A = this chain, B = another copy of it.
Amino acid sequence: MSTIKEVCQLAGVSTATVSRTLKNPNMVNVKTRERIFAAIEKAGYRPNVMASSVKTGKSNSLVVLVPNLSNPFFLRIIQGIEKAAQENGYSVLLGDTQGEPHREHEYAGMVLSNRADGLIHLDHSFPFSDNDALLAEKVPMVSVCERIVSDKQYPVIELDNYSACRALAKHLTSYGHKRFGIIAGQNESQIFRDRLGGIKSVLNEEGIDFDDSMVVGNEYSYESGSAGAKALLAGKVRPTAIFCFNDDIAIGAIHEIKKHGLKVPDDISVVGFDNIKVSAYMDPPLTTIDQPAYEMGRKAVEVVLQQIRKKPLTRNREIVQFRIIERASSGAVSS
């Protein structure tokens, strides 16, 4: 096997530059890096980065855990994470946990064994265990979206779901709506409690009754939106407006409502949550809450790097701003 010296000769650079390129390619200019990679390949040199990582104890990579890669909202967060990580010389590895705790532990194991330096959770779709609490003490980590209610909390970047749902509810009551349905994603999460609480607080202020049997749905998916709308339309009292707890649900709900020969928003207003890109292209375009997903990703990297660098966190919970996006899927109650 050839040596690093041969690579240096071929590429016309110092051993320090070759080492730097292997350890942290982002820090080396593109042309030089390409020349070095070509030289490594030509020489047949197999650098053992694992051996050097044993010395430094740093991998310069972050693991991002995603519960559901098919939700485009998460992808925008990931783009923000990628960008911020790159600026800081870190690479990003995505792990699809499929909502399974043991897969999350596998990835946490990568941090414990120095193959990654920190963890970023996008949502946390299972109960927080004592084991997780212990992990949170050992492993630099941050959660985006979902606040874990526990003594051993780790930092979170999240939207003010309560206020966002208040804004949506006010938008709909201002149009004269009084009969509401809700199609939720998960029923056990803090997000669910915050959103339901926000809606109910407005209805309460307006003196509008709300029956909990009008809350349906258990998954963030088109199918669940479609099934949820079907259930609400089969009920005794038909809602004039439906809150959907993400845009995928809203897309499924609108599809189902149209299949019943009803019009959106003329017969039923529908609002979503997240402002994924396709929402603007729906017929009608979707009224929704915009979450600054890209910015949330950037902030997550900031917070996890503070932990990796052992700098004290200024706060454990960072609230980002929402915007209500009013499009054509919501309107006045038909008389």
Which residues from chain A sit less than 8 Å from chain B, CB to CB?
22, 25-26, 30, 33-34, 37-38, 40-42, 44, 46-51, 53-54, 69-70, 72, 75-76, 78-79, 82, 91-96, 98, 102, 105-110, 112-115, 131, 134-135, 137-138, 222, 226, 251-252, 255, 258, 277-278, 280-283
Contacts and interface: CB of A to CB of B under 8 A. Distances in A.
Given A44-B138, A50-B113, A222-B277, 6 more contacts: A22-B113, A25-B109, A54-B54, A92-B96, A258-B283, A282-B282
Given A70-B277, A98-B82, A252-B281, A113 B37 contact: no
B38 A131 contact: yes
5 contacts: A25-B109, A37-B135, A46-B114, A54-B54, A70-B75
A110 B44 CA distance: 15
Q: Which 3 A-B pairs have the closest CB atoms?
A: A49-B113, A94-B94, A93-B93
Contacts of A98: 82
A96 B114 contact: no
A320 to B, nearest CB: 20
Contacts of A48: 54, 113-114
Given A95-B93, A278-B251, A115 B115 contact: yes
Question: Most chain-B Cβ atoms within 10 A of its Cβ — which of A72, A93, A280?
Answer: A93
Nearest to A252: B281
A325 to B, nearest CB: 16
A53 to B, nearest CB: 5
A51 B49 CA distance: 11
